[in-house]
Structure 1
Amino acid sequence: MELTEKERRLLALHYVFPVPLNRLGKLFEIDPDLDQLFTYRAKELAELLNIPMAKAFKLKENLQRNMDTPYDELYERHAIFPIPFTHSLYPEKLHLLIDPPAVLYAKGHLQLLTDRWYIAIIGSRKATAYSKKALELIVPPLVENNAVIVSGLAKGADAMAHEAALEYGGKTIAVLGHGLFHLYPKENAKLAAEIVEKQLILTEYPPYMKPERWTFPMRNRIISGLSDAVVVTEAARKSGTMSTVEHALDHGKDIFTVPGPITSALSAGPNQLLDEGAKPIWSGFQIVEMLAFNR
């Protein structure tokens, strides 16, 4: 992948300071091409990045130590493709976020970033066979109409969504909450390998970053940001799934939810969303018709 000198400098910064683009706004205002990146004093970095002096000294030290590191070449050795926010492959919809990723790291088939429709399918890590049955009705029409299924490679509903896309010959993107040198959960290693081989995995975190409690809520905004609509299968009333829905609502995305039995705790989230105005879904054709009408 061809990168500009500005993009290479951004990779160097992002490796040691992996924050969203909005955190770099003041820096880009005064230095749009990052020409002075390796010459800033710690005090200047502290002011431009709004970080404590101790962190600024550490950042300056790390930048100078690694200023000659060819990050793009190192990533390429691991079949990782960095996509800076200025690159043509960077999804336009992510620019609409308040806090867009400064860099995406991709592994797999990059052409999936140029498709027409993206549908997020999310739900509980404890999703039951009810979610799997629902996906048998929702995913095939989406696949038939070339929608890309987006989810988070978590246990439960996420894994079911990716597996359904693969089973019906469709396309899928897995968005991770950690770097590509790690995998969470380990149980999805085989599924992750299949997605890398045939589909696409994305993350905003440099390869070395491990999964942390705070990285997954951040990941959720990318799932909703990429997508034209969000489908919720099963979810507790308070859960990571519902936080993704909140991001989606902030982005003006259509929310579809699978109605569930009132006796199930995992239907509490979807049923609440229905009460708040989400669209009930029982067939993927409902989404196809909505997207076709809106376009």
Structure 2
Amino acid sequence: MDIVTKRLFLLSHCRNMSNQLLYKLLQVDPTLNIIHMLKDYEWELYFNLSREKVKTMKQELNSFHFESLYQKYNEQNILFVAIYDEKYPRLLKEIPDPPPLLYYKGDISLAQHRQLISVVGTRYPTQYGKSALEHLLKPLIRENWIIVSGMAKGIDTLAHESAILHNGKTIAVIAGGLFHIYPKQNISLANKMMASHLILSEHPPTTPPQKWHFPMRNRIISGLSVGTIIIQAKKRSGSLITANQALEQNREVFAVPGSIFDEHSSGTNELIQSGAKLVQDGTHIMEEFRYKENGLTR
């Protein structure tokens, strides 16, 4: 393994080294040799990292041992891929702030597939939401579309389970590291996915999920995919954050309409009002991308 990837791997374990900062460092110096050249005041001046945080980062870097960490993860079949690697998800490279490193367990080639569609929604779906999800996803799965979601309870979990039930493939992007599957009720689902599908994280496996990790991971869910389907979402929900990020990434956004009297559909109805594509059937989504591939507009 080359020295740059080892540096990237070790830096990703430093608590004060955010992925955004690491991405900036890679842009400034793709060799990452810069980390040994910058003086403390330069870290503060150019990268807004205080001297105290720089001191902590340097101490951590000196305490980490690549071989022992790498072996620890490898024993659990946890691997990682750098942004400059050919295995890194193609579409994810296009977003403004892609994770410099992805940790994963499962089949990383799934993330290179052309037909990736994200599905997000409420943690507390109604029967209508559950039925709508099955109705939309079955034709997509039948046509080898890979379902991407965040393995949260509710719509996310149902989307992964639907893909597995109908002999399709699915990818989960989790908020913490791979040693900390959340929620605990999805450990059995996660084990199935790590064996035959794919789970990704931008955090080292030992990282417990934090509240701020969840909105961050949403940009990866939408960034992996050509489009995102929102099934039942209240106003000001995490699903709407994902939808907005998808729009910023120039991806398609599809929303399932609902009753004007149902708060679970207030966010999706608002999305449709703002220009998201109203979707009633999985074939509508496939037709949309066929039009785009042929250079046609509706």
- 1-side partners of 2:109 and 2:167: how far apart? 16
Q: Which of the numbers 258, 261, 277 marks the counterpart of 1:260?
A: 258
Counterparts in 2 of 1:142 and 1:34: CA distance versus 1, 3 Å: same
Q: Which of the numbers 222, 225, 228 marks the counterpart of 1:224?
A: 222
Which deviates more, 65-74 or 232-241? 65-74
Counterparts in 2 of 1:29 and 1:104: CA distance versus 1, 3 Å: closer
Asked whether the equivalents of residues 224 and 248 of structure 1 are also in contact (C-alpha less than 8 Å), the reply is yes
Match of 2:60 in 1: 62
Letter of the aligned partner of 2:86 in structure 1?
S
Asked whether the equivalents of residues 236 and 266 of structure 1 are also in contact (C-alpha less than 8 Å), the reply is yes
Asked whether the equivalents of residues 11 and 71 of structure 1 are also in contact (C-alpha less than 8 Å), the reply is no
Letter of the aligned partner of 1:257 in structure 2?
A
Q: CA RMSD in A?
A: 1.8
TM-score for both structures, normalised by structure 2: 0.92
Q: Which of the numbers 125, 128, 132 marks the counterpart of 1:130?
A: 128
- 2-side partners of 1:56 and 1:8: how far apart? 19
Deviations 1:164-199, CA, capped at 9 Å, x for gaps = 111111110000010111011111111111111110
Counterparts in 2 of 1:37 and 1:193: CA distance versus 1, 3 Å: same
Question: Is 2:38 the partner of 1:12?
Answer: no
Asked whether the equivalents of residues 23 and 97 of structure 2 are also in contact (C-alpha less than 8 Å), the reply is no
- 2-side partners of 1:152 and 1:239: how far apart? 14
- 2-side partners of 1:236 and 1:30: how far apart? 41
Counterparts in 2 of 1:68 and 1:216: CA distance versus 1, 3 Å: closer
Match of 2:197 in 1: 199
Asked whether the equivalents of residues 72 and 82 of structure 1 are also in contact (C-alpha less than 8 Å), the reply is no
Q: Which runs of 5 or more residues in structure 1 are unaligned?
A: none
Shift of 1:161: 0.6
Q: Which of the numbers 142, 166, 169 marks the counterpart of 1:168?
A: 166
TM-score for both structures, normalised by structure 1: 0.93
Equivalent positions of 1:12-161 (< 5 A) are 12-17=10-15, 18-20=17-19, 22-24=20-22, 27-28=25-26, 31-35=29-33, 37-38=35-36, 41-66=39-64, 69-161=67-159
Counterparts in 2 of 1:257 and 1:16: CA distance versus 1, 3 Å: same
Asked whether the equivalents of residues 121 and 232 of structure 2 are also in contact (C-alpha less than 8 Å), the reply is yes
Give % identity.
37
Letter of the aligned partner of 1:125 in structure 2?
R
